[in-house]
Amino acid sequence: MVCSDYEVLITGFVDGELDGEQSQRLMSHLKDCATCRKELERVKIIKKALDMVAIRTPEDEFWDGYWAGIYNRLERNTGWIFLILGAVVLCSGGSLLFLRNVLFADDTPVWVAVGGVFAIIGIIMLLVSLIRERVRINRHERYKDVRR
Ligand SMILES: [Zn+2]
């Protein structure tokens, strides 16, 4: 084998891909050949430089997390908005139907009408407080990720 044949072995050695027999063959050649020892050092340096380029910087990960966080929050907030809108539509529509068809029907007993009105007031209060809670949490979350 001539020196150029060892180039592949040197690259493989640096990448840790040689089997025992191959690296033994390379080692015994390196003992007698300064040219290939130099080549080994050169390939090692190149590999180190490539590794450094390949390593992701902490800033990359910060920005990835940053955008993922914004996306998650956007998604969750949108989910909440739809849920609340749906609940408002269903509750107000249902309440109107309930008022018209049950509470103010001629044959509805008074206690059913009173109970129904209380239930509707309770649902509306719960909805309002749910919306207020979400608005308050959103205002908090906006500053949660700010670095101090
Ligand atoms: Zn050589």
Q: Contact 30/37 with Cβ under 8 angstroms?
A: yes
Q: Is residue 85 part of a domain?
A: yes
Residues 82, 126, single domain; the answer is yes
Query: Does residue 146 lie in a domain region?
Result: no
Say how far apart CA 119 and CA 121 lie, in whole Å: 5
Q: How far is the CA of 11 from the centre of ligand 1 (A)?
A: 13
Query: Could you give the count of Cα atoms lying within 13 Å of 124 in the half-sphere of its Cβ?
Result: 11
CA of 7 to the centre of ligand 1 (A): 8
Query: Ligand 1 centre and the CA of 50: distance in Å?
Result: 24
Residues 86 and 47 reside in one and the same domain:
no
48 CA from centroid of ligand 1 (Å): 22
Q: Are residues 46 and 64 in the same domain?
A: no
| pTM for this entry | 0.39
Q: How far is it, in rounded angstroms, from Cα 80 to Cα 89?
A: 14
26 C-alpha to ligand 1 centroid (Å):
9
Determine the structural domain holding residue 30 and report its residue range: 3-54
Q: How many domains does the chain have?
A: 2
Query: Under a CB-based contact definition with an 8 Å cutoff, are residues 134 and 82 in contact?
Result: no
CA of 6 from ligand 1 middle (Å) equals: 7
- Tens of pLDDT along the chain (148 residues) come to 789 889 999 999 999 999 999 999 999 999 999 999 999 999 999 888 888 777 666 777 777 777 788 888 888 888 888 888 898 888 888 888 887 787 777 777 888 888 888 888 898 888 888 888 877 777 766 655 555 5
